[in-house]
Chains A and B, each alone.
Chain A
Amino acid sequence: MSARTRELLILILVGLITATGFASVYIARQNEISPESLSYAGFFFVLYLIAHVVARFTVPDADSYLLPMAALLTAIGLTEIYRLGPTDALRQGLWVVIGVAAFAGTLITLRHDFRRLESYKYLFGLSALGLLFLPALPKIGHSVNGARLWVRIGSLQFQPGELGKIAMIVFLAAYLHSKQEVLAQGRPKDFGPLLAIWGCAMLVLVATHDLGSALLFFGIFLAILYLATARLLYVGVGLVLFLAGSAGVYETTAHVRDRVTIWLHPWTTQAIPCPGHTALMPRQECASYQLVKSLYSIAAGGFSGTGLGKGTFTLPSGGNLIPDLNTDFIFSALAQELGLVGIAAILLVFMLFTVRGFRIALVAGDGFSKLVCAGLTFGFALQTFIIIGGIVRLIPLTGITLPFISYGGSSVVANFILLAALMLISQRANEAA
């Protein structure tokens, strides 16, 4: 069986799972939604069939599991977003269409040799900076929850940081690959451009309060640096700098101190000034409100969950129990409805995706491919860890999106480009073998 035929068979399986998911949401919420929900599954399947056909022509020998896993994760996300609010699901559906188009576009454009990107490394580095800097600009940038990471043009709004992440990984991989030998000698001047671009990125992120992305960029930087130079010392120095930097930011930024306090003590009745309330409010009903309510949602799922469409996310009065449920907190919605069984399954898909990504990096023939592939995969895993880890209180909570699942256009598009990149590298590695 060829790789693409296997991919098609798994996609059909994913299509069946998706249909089941939408059917159960429909059954559970009949009085709120229409039978049209079932058409989502069909539409979805056709969309991925198109992606599959494009892959068949452009990357016939690429890994056959990545596309179906991405399809499964987007389907899970779309089903839950649909369940939480059918109008959001329509938008998300459109973004998936754009994402698949970006996927196809990337595959078609770079099908001959993606490695030529290596020579545009500074272009990538600078565009990464530019993308990160966009939300800080007046007029088009605006902030949500104290972090300024959105760009709004007309009715369109997106987080350019997601694309910036991919550009930054390509830059880091290309730069470190071309300077691999000299960097290992440890002469400071070779680090100049690297530290300049990366340092600017970190500054922008900290200044815009995008702590999740700052953590993500830092982790990716250290990972690629370690891969390219084999110097654990750099990682060590990096971690020391990170800790020192964190301590500094903690001391100087109230926003960061709040996040840490919320993380360590979500349940306290300590009275604090609360935006929107004139009186002092207990912290667990103000600053850590979101985290606490989200943990209640996760716990309510228990072992087997309430079932899709049966969870409780709104008050009888109609108000939402958890803010930002379909973006940053979609994990808590899924955890309540699918339970530990469902959540563990979803996390296993994330693990499997990560394993396939690193496997491609292992078999890739050249250093640049290995660095890009391992960098992207590591970024994917780290991003998942940062957002879910924040929700389950392993680390302080920072708002970034859950790859493929969260509601949000830029995230979906960026992850499809990431998927295309992995498949291009896989194609080249398998073709050579």
Chain B
Amino acid sequence: MNARVRFLALSSLVMLAALIVASTYWQAWAAPDLANKNDNAIRQISEFTIDRGRILAADGTVLARNHVVHTNNRTYYYRRYPLGALTAAAVGYATQNRSRTGLERSASDYLTGADQSLAGALKQIGDRLLGSTIHGSDIRLSLNLSAQRAAMNALGANCGAAVAIEPATGKVLVLASKPSYNPNDVENHYGRVLGIKSPSCKSASALIDRATQGLYPPGSAFKTVTAAAALDSGKYTPDSSFYDPGYCIDYRQRVNNFTNHDQQGPESFGNLPLSKAFEFSVNSVFCNIGNALGIHKLMDYARRFGFGDKPPIDLPSSSLQASGLYSHGRLLSPSEDGFGDPGRVAFGQGNLLVTPLQMAMVAATVANNGVLMRPHLVDEVIRRNGKVDKLAPQSLGRVIKPETAAELTQMMEAVVSGGTGTAAQIPGVRVAGKTGTAENGPGRPNTTWFIAFAPADAPRVAVAVVLENQTGTGGTTAAPIAREIMQAILASTANSNP
């Protein structure tokens, strides 16, 4: 019988060992996945016992603070957002029932103090063991509140977004998305947030941050990238001459200029230099440049500006989108067949979709002599002991030569001084910009754009504005909004040394 007893013993041990294996699965492999489930209250509750740090605007105004509640012998720190919808796109929310978004999610390590040095981490482990409350650090953002307010007011009842960046550092000064929502409503009045409607777009989707997640056809605003590629490749100069018959031949088909509402002046310009074609947004010229450069050269430059990947901004990856060539909602990679039609992509149509953040990065790169800086919102981390860690600006490398940037700046200045973007003029300040008016099909309203930076000779701000469902052009609708944002920033930084 002993052989059978041994067999039974072995079977029992195998069963019990299987329990250890299964526990390992749940506690090691599946744990991160489960922790992020929406209906998992445990992690959220335990995080609400941490005294999270505050989120401050650049001027120290509190954007997120704690609301302390003592119940059942525990202290919970709930979040309150004093400015409500104004900064929702950047700050996001932290709730028990709906998890977290925005900086509340991506900067959580700072806010909970989990990012600290070894000594800090040891103290935190000590606090944990002793059951004392863990205190997080405050973070100060680069957001310029007066400009943010100007942007939200100027966007008004439109559906759209605006992003402003300090070109030399990559500091994000404005991150605005409309329609917006009040993050204080998310915990207990979520229906109110979901019910937000807008007269300007069918699906208001207020929770979507259009500045970083909204994918739009860039239209002529993309000509900035095409021109950068053309000039930087050495094949063209601003004076390179073109003949515009009023159309270009793309894949043996006529693509007419007159479908381009962004264009100003006659339907056919005849002979004209590249700089004029940029100033008046002439499609046929860019169509020919695109075909001459080829889709890969063109998109290679776009990639250097940051296209093809989610921008490396300090927001959660889930609220970012990569700009580039799309097919049925999927980002295409350059090795794929039918990657894109260079003629149409060159003037911002075809299957090209971009985010306002990406377009602001394009403007900021030109403004910063051709060097792209990593866009970021968190400027400094203020520890509980008063120590302040300033986060250094980070360069993402040179995108175009300084000479190319200088030539492009001149061309963009002409757009504002006498071309399609005159509505962006600021008295006494040299402004460089580019309009965009993207078609969404015959008879359907346009997506309008304006990207710009100022002052053109010593840029302190680069901006991108997008508006959905417009009957006007980028020059008449988006350019005035960009102007107001730039003015607000220039006014508030007038005393500081650029």
A contact residues vs B (CB 8 Å cutoff) = 27-32, 223, 226-227, 230, 267, 284-285, 292-293, 295-303, 306-307, 309-310, 312, 314-318, 321, 335-336, 339-340, 343-344, 347-348, 350-351, 354-355, 358, 361-362, 367, 370, 374, 377-378, 381-382, 384-385, 388-389, 392-394
Contacts and interface: CB of A to CB of B under 8 A. Distances in A.
A360 to B, nearest CB: 10
B42 A312 contact: yes
A230 B8 CA distance: 12
Contacts, number: 155
A284 B42 contact: no
Q: Interface residue tally of chain B, by bracket?
A: 35 or more
Given A299-B34, A392-B22, A285 B5 contact: no
B122 interface: no
Interface in B1-58: 1-2, 4-6, 8-9, 12-13, 15-20, 22-28, 30-31, 34-35, 37, 39-43, 45-46, 48
Contact of A367 (B1, B31, B129): B1
B8 A388 contact: no
B130 A284 contact: no
A318 B16 contact: no
B298 to A, nearest CB: 44
A351 B41 CA distance: 33
Contacts of A226: 4, 8
B69 A394 contact: no
B22 A318 contact: no
A318 B27 contact: no
25 contacts: A27-B130, A32-B73, A230-B1, A267-B37, A284-B39, A285-B39, A296-B37, A299-B30, A299-B31, A310-B128, A312-B41, A315-B41, A316-B72, A316-B76, A317-B71, A318-B72, A335-B27, A336-B42, A340-B23, A347-B23, A354-B9, A358-B5, A374-B8, A381-B12, A381-B16
| Closest CB pairs A-B (n = 10) | A381-B12, A358-B9, A392-B22, A299-B34, A299-B31, A340-B27, A385-B15, A296-B40, A300-B42, A312-B42
B74 interface: yes
A83 to B, nearest CB: 13
A314 B72 contact: yes
B23 A300 contact: no
Interface string B375-412: 00000000000000000000000000000000000000
Given A344-B23, A347-B20, A355-B13, A296 B42 contact: yes
Where chain A touches its partner, the secondary structure class is helix
B20 A344 contact: yes
Given A362-B5, A389-B15, 6 more contacts: A31-B73, A32-B73, A296-B43, A315-B41, A316-B71, A377-B9
A361 B5 contact: yes
B131 interface: yes
Contacts of A358: 5-6, 8-9, 12
B16 A347 contact: yes
Contacts of B9: 354-355, 358, 377
A316 B131 contact: no
Contact of A374 (B5, B19, B74): B5
A340 B24 contact: yes
A229 B15 CA distance: 23
Contacts of B24: 340, 344
A339 B27 contact: yes
Given A367-B1, A370-B1, A381-B16, A343 B41 contact: no
Nearest to B16: A351
A293 B69 CA distance: 24
B129 A318 contact: no
Contacts of B18: 385, 389, 394
A351 B16 CA distance: 7
B193 to A, nearest CB: 20
Contact of B19 (A28, A316, A317, A384): A384
Contacts of B19: 347, 384-385, 388-389, 392, 394
A370 to B, nearest CB: 6
Contacts of B25: 392
B435 to A, nearest CB: 45
Contacts of A336: 42
B12 A382 contact: yes
Interface in B218-264: none
Tell which of B13, B35, B69 has the most Cβ of chain A within 10 Å: B13
Nearest to B96: A316
B8 A301 contact: no
A400 to B, nearest CB: 14
Nearest to B22: A392
Contact of A298 (B1, B23, B39, B45): B23
B131 to A, nearest CB: 5
